[in-house]
Amino acid sequence: MKILIVDDEKLLVKGIKFNLEQDGYETETAYDGEEALKIARDKSISLIILDLMLPGIDGLTVCQKIREFSSVPIIMLTAKTEDMDKILGLEYGADDYLTKPFNILELKARIKAILRRVTNQNAPGAKSTLSVGGIDLDYNLRRVKIGNKVIELTAKEFDLCDLFVSNPGKVYSRENLLDIVWGYDYPGDIRTVDVHVRRLREKIEPDAAAPTYILTKWGVGYYFKEN
């Protein structure tokens, strides 16, 4: 999985690069549109993170030009509130966008989501599932199965569960969870997370008062433990 990062702020590129490589991705970097196009054309790239504001050819044009020869997933970085529907629409054909300043966890979450969508492209009827430590996630019906019991989850519950189960052992602070599941600019109360964790526990734990899957790391946050 090689990711191309395109931005003229070298420090930002460096930061993203470091973070993605921590997660095991390979990276390529470009600081302007020309360079980006060249790399996108010549190298085997799985995903592109592309800033809207670039010296020379701007990001949208780069996006457009890439779409002339490739359908590689593109995440646009935008400084202000642009006409996002247009960016995501067929005219430019980006796959997702983030508004600067963004949270690196959210960027990672979106990369993961897009890559899953692309690599999991399922034939109609085929099921897309993830099975970790006794929990089966069904991404089609967005519900989970534990043992042979099917459990219906609400949208937020499923997203939360997905994040935990996809990253067993990783402790997420409430802030992290708000950033990732609710969006990095979510303005609401941090306690919202607790309530959702509780309801998730009520649904998936045999005994919600003594959780075995979603555990509390006291003073830090929550994490998923494989059973």
Partner DNA sequence: TACTTTTTTGAAAATTAGTTGAAATAAGCG
Partner DNA sequence: CGCTTATTTCAACTAATTTTCAAAAAAGTA
Q: Give the C-alpha separation, 153 to 16, whole Å.
A: 33
Q: Return the residue of 220, 225, 226, 227 that touches DNA, per CB under 7 A.
A: 220
In whole angstroms, the minimum distance from the beta carbon of 57 to DNA comes to 36
Phi then psi for residue 137, to 5 deg, are -95, 130
Residues numbered 68 to 97 that lie near a copy of itself (CB under 8 A) are 68-71, 90-93
Judged by beta carbon, residue 108 or residue 156, the one nearer DNA is: 156
Q: Return the residue of 53, 82, 99, 108 that touches a copy of itself, per CB under 8 A.
A: 108
In whole angstroms, the minimum distance from the beta carbon of 17 to a copy of itself comes to 11
The span of 85-93, 114-122, 141-149, 179-187 binding DNA (CB under 7 A) equals 179-187
Residue where the block lists tokens 């802030």: 175
183 counts as binding a copy of itself under rule CB under 8 A: no
CA-CA distances (angstroms) from residue 197 to 60, 155, 219? Answer: 39, 13, 15
Cross-strand bridge partners of residue 66: none
Q: Do 145 and 136 contact (CB within 8 A), yes or no?
A: yes
Q: Give the C-alpha separation, 137 to 16, whole Å.
A: 29
Q: Give the C-alpha separation, 109 to 47, whole Å.
A: 13
Instruction: State the residues that interact with a copy of itself by CB under 8 A.
Output: 11-12, 15, 18-19, 22, 64-65, 67-71, 90-93, 101-106, 108-109, 124-125, 127, 140-142, 154-155, 166-171, 217-220, 223
